[in-house]
Structure 1
């Protein structure tokens, strides 16, 4: 039996450590909610969550562009999935300690994963457009 060569669409070629790291970076937003940073002051809702959502999105896109991801749409789509899964795990792990950490119903979990995957895909499309606009250095 011959060993199959990886194809250009092989998921093993994605930067999985970066995907998980960017997903974990996005946990900044729910963590700030948990510590009640959005309850009053300059980060009071809706300003604080919107600012941090924008910063996370800019961070994801900038990372894809600066690191020149060869497949930014797939990479950032999986980043959105990673964030959703990590956020769900954070919620589950906090249930014994916080009354507000309620387990969402299964349709809500699936919706959360799909929404964040779609958000990541849109970020990936923006990164792809920016990468195509960016001049390439050929070393000459």
Structure 2
């Protein structure tokens, strides 16, 4: 016995929604704040500068993803954190070479993995907050 109804198509779930890679790339470009503020002297030096950059970056990430209703905010910002770390590491390798103050490999290579893990965890935390912002705004409606 055959059915006259066509076979049911699977409905796309959350895993079927692609990661917004251009957004990930754009948000990870905020890693450029480190050398820009260092070169210009903006935001001071030391811990106040670091805290200001971290605060600005977190606010932008959470604001853009949370208020922009980006799908899969935790995954998106986790990948953004990872990309941020890669951009920061690349800048850390290039800036000394371009300015004549050393060369690649001057720092310990083993620090890359823990730094990327920290940046990914920071991104995941921002993603959880952005998901909360989306829920508060009713993004699922």
TM-score above 0.5, yes or no = yes
Work out the CA distance in 2 between the residues paired with 1:51 and 1:101.
29
Structure 1 gaps of 5+ residues are none
Runs (4 or more) in structure 1 with deviation over 6 Å come to none
Going from structure 1 to structure 2, the CA distance change for 1:59 and 1:101 (only over 3 Å counts) comes to farther
Which stretch has the larger CA shift, 86-95 or 15-24? 86-95
Equivalent of 1:106 in 102, 105, 109: 109
Partner of 1:9: 15
Going from structure 1 to structure 2, the CA distance change for 1:53 and 1:100 (only over 3 Å counts) comes to farther
- Bigger helix share: 2
Partner of 1:92: 93
Work out the CA distance in 2 between the residues paired with 1:70 and 1:137.
10
Work out the CA distance in 2 between the residues paired with 1:136 and 1:85.
31
Work out the CA distance in 1 between the residues paired with 2:35 and 2:111.
16
Contact 1:73/1:122 (<8 A) preserved: yes
Equivalent of 1:19 in 24, 28, 38: 24
Offset of residue 45 of structure 1: 2.1
2:124 is the counterpart of 1:121: yes
Contact 2:67/2:133 (<8 A) preserved: no
Give SS of 1:25's match.
helix
Q: TM-score, normalised by structure 2?
A: 0.78
Contact 2:97/2:104 (<8 A) preserved: no
Contact 1:94/1:101 (<8 A) preserved: no
Q: Aligned residue pairs: how many?
A: 129
Q: Which one has a bigger Cα radius of gyration?
A: 2
Structure 2 gaps of 5+ residues are 1-10
Q: Deviations over 1:37-63 (max 9, x none)?
A: 26xxx6232212211210110000000
Work out the CA distance in 2 between the residues paired with 1:46 and 1:105.
22
Q: TM-score, normalised by structure 1?
A: 0.78
